[in-house]
Amino acid sequence: MKRYQKNIQAAVWSIGLIVLALTHHWWPGIMILVGISMLAGALTRGEEQPALPAEPAADSRPPEPTAPPAPFSPEIDPQAAQAPAYNLNWVPNRCISCGGPLNVSGLKALDSETVVCPFCGTKISRAS
């Protein structure tokens, strides 16, 4: 903060606290004082002028523009992206642990003999 900004902030707070002490309106008054202080700070704070760039040397040329990097596109193997299809007719309707329904779409099958309950995470195998 610049010196005059600090002086204005100090004056706003000093005058504001004196007014609050004389009127005994502390609760709503302190919030108004904070708002006035913020407003005074915003009004006194101006845009600082950016420093001017140094003069370029007479023999220097502007840099050559470069092409942007190519977007990343990973090679995706269509066979690897698909989960294997298992025959899950043996899966019970309800989880043996929490009782949640297992006939939901997106049921996670670890292999053809084991599925995972989407609600409690219990592994249910064909043998159980």
Per-residue confidence in pLDDT tens, the chain, 128 aa: 577 788 888 999 999 999 999 999 998 899 999 999 999 888 887 655 555 666 655 556 767 777 777 676 666 655 555 666 777 788 888 888 888 888 777 678 888 888 888 888 888 888 76
Task: Give the bridge partners for 116, in sequence order.
Answer: 108, 123
Distance from chain centroid for Cα 49: 32
What's the CA gap between 9 and 44, in Å, rounded?
10
Q: State the pTM of this model.
A: 0.35
